[in-house]
Structure 1
Amino acid sequence: MTAQFSLERYLNVRSAYGASLSADGTLAFLMDTTGTSQVWTLDEPGRWPRQRTFDEESVGFVSWSPERPELVFSMDEGGNERAQLFRLDAESGEIHHLTDMPEAKHRWGGWSHDGDRVAFASNRRDESVFDVYVQGREERGTDAERVYEGDGWLSLAGWSPDDDRLLVVESHSSFDQDLYSLDLDTRELTHLTPHDGEVRYQSACWGPDGDGIYLVTDSDADTLYLACLDAEGELETVADGGDWNVDGVALDEESGRLAYSRNVDGYTELAVGELDGPTEIREFPEPDLPGGLAGGVSWSDDADRFAVTATGRADNANVYVVETETGETTRWTHAPTAGIPRESFVGSELVRFESFDGLEIPAFFSLPEDPTPGETPVIVDVHGGPESQRRPSFSGLTQYFLSRGYAVFEPNVRGSTGYGKAYTHLDDVEKRMDSVRDLRAGAEWLVDHEAVDPDRLVVEGGSYGGFMVLAALTEYPDLWAAGVDVVGIANFVTFLENTGSWRRAIREAEYGSLEEDREFLESISPTNRADRIEAPLFVIHGANDPRVPVGEAERIVEAARGNDVPVELRIYEDEGHGLSKRENRIDAYTDVVAFLDEHV
């Protein structure tokens, strides 16, 4: 099948997301019109937006000041993840460098309510740990005051309503966090969530009175639920997700209005309401948003409306503004589709297949239009993480492959989030290869599908998904016609030895430790089984990747090239953990498409 539109056109479909509403109702958001995500603003829905930043590097987030026509945004260099913070004067366009310490990472912690100060966490003092800083809006670099010296992975969840405390989050692993209140006068840190075992405390925010904390947690439960943590440290349920996770909450402190989302089999159910007491919610009508996925809520100054990003498999991301009490929804941004008709985009079907031990594995399956029975090639696309979840969001690359006659199969193998605590732990350490067995079961399900050509299965994935690609090729070489590894882990030992020191302990909690599990980690590492690779392999990596260093790509390519199979390597000098620049994505995936055309 020949695509009507080129790969470059599909990769030029734009996305608008990451909204923030100012005190006067101006919308700021990120959009990748120029090839990287930059800051844009809009005064009214549907108008042509105004571009506010003009850089070759992608902007990470944008946040309006609560009091002045200015905003903060972040940007790193070449994908190195050492984010710097900048303040943009919306009237003059002048950009003020807040942090100006390019060797350190900076995690945004929010504006104070008077707009005079900002807070952030940074590893300036020691690369492996994060401290808490407060800084005046006009200060820069070394002017920031270190208000707490940490000894782990700290981040911030915002200022208390009277700006005298900060909500501090300490992450021990992806499934275990603690919350603290930091008194900015005394510098005393109060532990709010003492607990045994692993408990998640996420999406935390201060309640209207500054005493209660609203958050999502899985304390004494398999799934995440919305709860209120009172001043005495007691948790009370506010909204239960049932069999599904409540995966986010956005609360306006002054009005008590809130929006929270349930992740139902990968789709978003967004609930909106107003607190009527600490744990009771007066519900408002649910907004009618397209696509099935929504997130990133930003409240207006008086909470009578909020901005939110919506997307779906057949809907590129755009920002909508919702009237809080009525649910009336207006689309504000119109991110273009590069001239490709929206109605030509293909949706997905949620399916399930049985794995080796009887476990049901969910997957999203997309078939091209009018597939020929028994002749359809399939790209099995594996998400990273592994503490993540493939959800049916828009991807121009996926739509291109569908237009070319490929089917796309996206499994949420064991270890994925979204299906309860127990499911996420089914791949821990010594059970790592059970998730690879899930891939084999998924491939066998595809082989039995009437549309699929069993000899043309491609496995593709990024980061941990890249490991899954390499493991699938080495464990089950007869199943695959080709593999595409993007910034993947090739050897768990060298990965853990060389990943950023600030994240090593978090990763060892998932994969196993170098001290206790080295022999096992070596045994499952694809570089040590690369002689089993029989399928053509394409590898993509960023030279500045701080998470999975580029040596992982070089090692697997060197090992696989001894097998007399086609192996291609593309390294991008101005990228990190993935490809963020459109020109690099076009370059890389043009070669991937040619590679698959030749070998699949």
Structure 2
Amino acid sequence: MRSLCSRKEDIVIPNENLITENIAEIPKELANQVKKYSEARGASLAEIHPTKNEIIISTRFGSTAQLHRVSQPVGARKQITFFDEPVSGASYEPLKGEYLVYSKDIGGNEFGQLYKLDLKTLQSTLLTDGGRSQNGGPTWRKDGKGFYYSSTKRNGGDRDIYYMDPNNPKSDKLILQVKGGGWGISDISTDGQKLLISEYVSANESHIWILETASGKLSEVTDRKSTGIIQSGASFSDKNDEIWLVTDKDNEFERLATLNLNTKKVAYHTSKIPWNVENYNLSEDKKTIVFITNEAGLNKMYLMNTNNKSYSAVKNIPIGLIGGANFTKDKKAVFFTQSTAQSASDVYKLNLATGDIQRWTESELGEMQQSDMSVPKFIEWKSFDNLKISGFYYPAAAKFTGKRPVIINIHGGPEAQSMASFLGSNNYYTNEMGVAIIFPNVRGSSGFGKTFIAKDNGFLREDSVKDIGALLDWIAQQPELDKDRIMIMGGSYGGYMTLATAFHYADRIKCSVDVVGISNFNTFLKNTEEYRRDLRRVEYGDERIPEMAAFFEKMAPLNNIDKIKKPMFIIQGTNDPRVPVTEAIQMRDKLKANGNVVWYLEAKDEGHGFKKKSNVDFQRLAVIRYMQEYLIK
């Protein structure tokens, strides 16, 4: 490949954890240009102190996201964890908040272990087995003596419920043994006698159970025989015979509801909002609920009086996305995370008495200015069967003339959703390269009702690929877009969509970038981690059924290499537990054997996507070089 640089000191050298093949030299001059866009960071709420006016946030200052303490509005962010690996989650001991419990894995393998962090000494103690198990969701007893949590440690596949006193890790005790990887704890009763247990079956089905902690007796709350209904996010209400939940029962969208534990009668309380209630949180006295809706890819926050079920939207929040909102223990305020298309996520505090909103963190955007950022437009098009598909279109900067190249960036999940989010470093594409970006929500995406989310299941899988074909038609009709310069890009399931588009629409794209994508559903289901396998079969189809296995073979991008005509860039984490590295390697090797142009990037210290800054930075630069070679020219 043509060299842009003659001297080693003028090019970017990948770090020792990166495996690279066929990637063109990256000039340091390019890295300097991109730096303006790559230094933005965001902050998100991790936990609220039980007695003090302070919070724990997650943000990145070095290589990875770590926990920081913030004790006043826009105050100093005091770092309290210092690891090479990212730290996720934080849960205070609920009485005094003298220590907290957090989760951390190794190299992106997602085998999260729980640790106790002493906030005086900042020393961490491993609480769980440290092996190939997933541990999470600590749910504290109200007296602070211990917590319940879920773990796959018994056999690697089933997510059981355990109890532990973190001051004595040897107290660890199995409370509930289950079958399946979709189990978790939703809530604990005030007296600690009962747990509400969730069972996730698929994006279209979930159930609620009650576990008596003393006897270990498990009882159905929702009807386990009722299929195709979401019933999740259960919380005990202020009435002994009632719980709160989110459900799409008797409706296209998920509503906030109450369920009587004796009569099983459900009452719906947000029917006037024709969108999903994404999550909610009850105040300590259970008199107020804060809930967040997803309204066409934007979030709104509401407050509800649980006595009379009246609710109203919270005013003065900028249009954008809102993360988990939680009440302070004194019930006087709500902390929440918020971002817009032109600002990264930050933490805010809503005063419930006055309605005032106070900013608590102010994250840096590097050298980026608002004028450098593309603002999304909501777009719609009709697919092959007249189904309406939508997405968000980020135009190239107005300074560029002529028809603009396009990136189609497809989300994973498959039941995730592209929303009107902050582009961050991707603003380099729109503002410096003049490339427009479209984030489609093909059938199977969440946020558009339960009928839409099920339209790609099983044998309907390739209908979602046809939605991209219809988007290619839409692009061809836009006077400012160049139908002859289109790059397909996506991660995870979006990676499968990228690979599938590369062979279905080979003559209509210029190149593609597959990030941790599925190249054959048969080999993917065989090699994905056991705790995920049955959950994925519900969505994709069961490869043990001969007809399904045959369908997977026919539709596999791996088996349609001869139809792929344009360059491909494959990016993968070695330790990926979801889409194993074998999916990338087999695709790369077959493309090479076929004589295709294929770039390859693998990180030995990453899993399902890159999280460490040096790896993320190199990936971004490599993609830009790839675009220069195969999209822009």
Shorter-normalised TM-score: what interval? over 0.9
Contact 2:253 2:450 in 1 (8 A): yes
Unaligned runs of 5+ in 2: 1-28
Deviation of 1:231 after TM superposition, in Å, equals 2.1
Q: What does residue 427 of structure 1 align with?
A: 456
SS at match of 1:381: strand
Is structure 2 residue 68 aligned with structure 1 residue 40? Answer: yes
In the alignment, the residues of structure 2 paired with residue 183 and residue 519 of structure 1 have an alpha-carbon distance, to the nearest angstrom, of 45
Query: Residues 361, 39 of structure 1: CA spacing in aligned structure 2 closer, same or farther, 3 A cutoff?
Result: same
Partner of 2:236: 206
Partner of 1:155: 184
Report if aligned partners of 1:161, 1:210 keep a CA contact under 8 Å in 2. no
CA distance in 1, matches of 2:509, 2:399: 20
In structure 2, what residue type is equivalent to 1:230?
N
Equivalent residue for 2:343, pick from 311, 315, 326: 315
- Alignment-derived partner of residue 259 in structure 2: 229
Aligned to 2:375: 347
Q: 2:270 aligns with which of 211, 234, 239?
A: 239
SS of equivalent residue, structure 1 residue 6: helix
| Unmatched tracts of structure 1, length 5 or more | none
User: CA deviation digits over 1:64-112, x for unaligned, max 9?
Assistant: 2221222221111111111011122223322222214322110213222
SS of 1:41 mapped into structure 2: strand
| Residues 135 and 145 in structure 1, CA contact (< 8 A), matched pair in contact too | yes
2:122 alignment counterpart: 93
User: Does structure 1 residue 520 correspond to structure 2 residue 548?
Assistant: no
Cα contact 2:490–2:497 (8 A) shared by 1: yes
The answer to whether the 8 Å contact 1:322/1:329 transfers is yes
User: What is the alpha-carbon distance in structure 1 between the residues aligned to residue 67 and residue 261 of structure 2?
Assistant: 39
Q: Which residue of 2 aligns with 1:16?
A: 43
8 Å CA contact 1:5–1:340 kept in 2: the answer is no
Alignment match, 2:195: 166
1:65 pairs with 2:65? no
Query: How far apart are the structure 1 equivalents of 2:309 and 2:617?
Result: 47
CA distance in 2, matches of 1:332, 1:3: 35
1:464-483 alignment to 2 at 5 Å?
464-483=493-512
Deviations 1:313-345 (A, max 9, x none): 221010111112432111101111113224432
Bigger mean CA deviation after superposition, 470-479 or 386-395: 386-395
The alpha-carbon deviation at position 461 of structure 1 amounts to 0.2
For 2:107 and 2:319, locate their aligned partners in 1 and report how far apart those are by CA, in whole Å.
32
Q: Name the aligned partner's letter for residue 440 of structure 1.
A: G
Counterpart-to-counterpart distance in 2, 1:565 and 1:94: 52
Judge which range, 346-355 or 367-376, deviates more: 367-376
* Structure 2: distance between partners of 1:563 and 1:249: 51
- Cα deviation for residue 284 of structure 1 reads 5.5
**CA–CA distance in structure 1, aligned partners of residues 68 and 492 of structure 2:** 30
Kindly indicate whether residue 389 of structure 2 is the aligned counterpart of residue 361 of structure 1: yes
* 2:215 maps to 1:186: yes
Superposed, 1:242-253 pairs within 5 Å as 242-253=273-284
Alignment of 1:578-589 (within 5 A): 578-589=609-620
Q: Is the 8 A contact 1:166 1:184 kept in 2?
A: yes
Give, in whole Å, the separation in 2 of the partners of 1:36 and 1:240: 41
| 1:491 matched residue in structure 2 | 520
Q: Give the root-mean-square deviation of aligned CA atoms.
A: 1.7
For 2:164, what is the secondary structure of its paired residue? strand
- Shifted more, 461-470 versus 212-221: the winner is 212-221
Q: 1:255 deviation in Å?
A: 4.0
How many Å separate the matches in 2 of 1:361 and 1:458?
Answer: 19
Structure 1 runs of 4+ with >6 Å offset: 2-5
Residue of structure 1 in register with 2:298 after alignment? 267
Instruction: Specify whether residues 395 and 56 from structure 1 end up closer, same or farther in structure 2 by C-alpha distance, changes over 3 A only.
Output: farther
Summarize deviations over 1:31-74 as a string: whole Å, max 9, x none. 01222110001110111110000001111111222212222211
C-alpha distance in structure 2 between counterparts of 1:187 and 1:563, whole Å = 58
Give the Cα–Cα distance (whole angstroms) in 2 for the partners of residues 342 and 218 of structure 1.
39
For the 8 Å contact 1:3–1:400, the answer to whether it is kept is no
Once residues 343 and 40 of structure 1 are traced to their aligned partners in structure 2, the CA distance between those partners, rounded to angstroms, is 30
Verify: 1:443 aligned to 2:472, yes or no: yes
Q: 1:386 aligns with which of 397, 402, 414?
A: 414
Q: Is the 8 A contact 1:415 1:426 kept in 2?
A: yes
Q: Say whether the 8 Å CA contact 2:394–2:438 is kept in structure 1.
A: yes
**2:24 match:** none
Measured after TM superposition, the shift of residue 372 of structure 1 is: 4.1
Alignment-derived partner of residue 216 in structure 1? 246
Q: CA deviation at 1:241?
A: 5.5
Q: How many residues align?
A: 595
Report the alpha carbon displacement of residue 312 of structure 1 after superposing the two structures with TM.
2.2
Q: Report the counterpart of residue 548 of structure 1 in structure 2.
A: 579
Contact kept, 8 Å, 2:458 with 2:539, in 1: the verdict is: yes
What CA distance in whole angstroms lies between the structure 2 residues aligned with 1:193 and 1:374? 57
1:350 is aligned with what amino acid? F
Query: TM-score with structure 2 length normalisation?
Result: 0.91
Per-residue deviation, 1:252: 1.7
Q: Pick the aligned partner of 2:446 from 417, 421, 424.
A: 417
Q: What is the rounded CA distance, in whole Å, between the counterparts of 1:299 and 1:44 in structure 2?
A: 17
The yes-or-no answer on 1:569 pairing with 2:600 is yes
Q: Helix, strand or coil for the counterpart of 1:514?
A: coil
Please give the alpha-carbon distance, in whole angstroms, between the structure 1 residues aligned to 2:441 and 2:201. 24
Equivalent of 1:504 in 533, 541, 561: 533
State the 1:455 CA deviation: 1.3
Which residue among 137, 159, 166 is the counterpart of 1:108? 137
Q: Determine which of 278, 285, 289 is the counterpart of 1:254.
A: 285
- The whole-number CA distance in structure 2 between the counterparts of 1:241 and 1:216 is 15
